[in-house]
Amino acid sequence: MSPFRGSIPFTQESTQFRFNVADQVANITFTRPDKLNALTFEGYADLRDLLHEIPSRGDVRVIVLRGEGTAFSSGGDVHEIIGELLKMHSHELLDFTRMTGEVVKAMRECPVPIVAVIHGIAAGAGSVLALASDFRIVSRSGKFAFLFTKVGLAGADMGSAYLLPRLIGLGRATQLLMLGDTISAEVADKFGLVSVLVEDEEIESQLNALVHRLVEGPAFAYAQTKALLSRELDMSLSGALELEAMTQALLMTTEDYAEFYKAFSEKRAPTWKGR
């Protein structure tokens, strides 16, 4: 069995992040500000297990991922890499790299939208967690560093060579993943990596506005949209058209769909139920 927990569900507080649910918002906050919220093996595994668990709770409409202090996350914990990873055998290393990939898989397969709040640096695995989120609210102090080649690893890690070109194009993804340079919030915005660019002091109000929209909106339609966006990436056009046709036909039977037209006729805003 993998040493990285794996089949053990996330049931208690993590030592790596704080988790709470309030008003249908799941807040996951990395809590190692003195290490710029570096991720330990336990941190990755806890995050993966928590992301597997959240959808089944039924009380969460949006997940907010953020870091305490001055950074989002500086990626893998360098001290743990030096102390443990460098001593591992190849089969243990493969367990580890697969486990980190499972975090990204859990994020992309999670039907609940994920919003990453980027102030300060998102580096290494931290930049990939931002990339794998559905929305990135980035303040002027935000920075991204897909720095894997700078530590002697392939720039493609945790699915970044899959996700990044799809988000910002092959040319810019090559530049970021191969050179590993740190880019500012402005450059990230120009490249298309940013969903909302905000002044530092506006980050909470802009986050609240987006979270409010996602909480109040049609959750089932959002979940299906996320699933289609992921699944259609590798499909033929005819496969994608068929999948969308089946999904829309399903959504046309929901209470939310009927509610929109009822509300339209009654000249009022719809009340979404997520079903």
Sites of contact with ligand LUIYFFEK (CB under 6 A): 35-36, 38, 74-79, 97, 100, 121, 123-125, 151, 153, 157-158
Cβ at position 100, least distance to ligand LUIYFFEK in Å: 4
Sign of the C-alpha dihedral computed for residues 184, 185, 190 and 194 taken in this order: positive
Beta-bridge partner residues of 67: 30
Cβ at position 71, least distance to ligand LUIYFFEK in Å: 7
Residue (41 or 222) nearer to ligand LUIYFFEK, CB: 41
**Tokens (6 digits) for 141:** 């102090």
Cβ at position 257, least distance to ligand LUIYFFEK in Å: 42
Give 3-state DSSP helix, strand, coil % of the chain, rounded to 5. 55, 15, 30
Residue (64 or 103) nearer to ligand LUIYFFEK, CB: 103
Cβ at position 49, least distance to ligand LUIYFFEK in Å: 17
Residue (16 or 224) nearer to ligand LUIYFFEK, CB: 16
Residue (28 or 125) nearer to ligand LUIYFFEK, CB: 125
Distance CA 186, CA 175 (A): 16
Is-contact 63 112, C-beta < 8 A?
yes
Cβ at position 179, least distance to ligand LUIYFFEK in Å: 14
Residue (43 or 218) nearer to ligand LUIYFFEK, CB: 43
The CA R_g of the chain, rounded to the nearest whole Å, is 19
**Amino acid letter for position 140:** R
Beta-bridge partner residues of 22: 25
Q: Are strands 143-145 and 196-198 parallel, antiparallel or unpaired?
A: unpaired
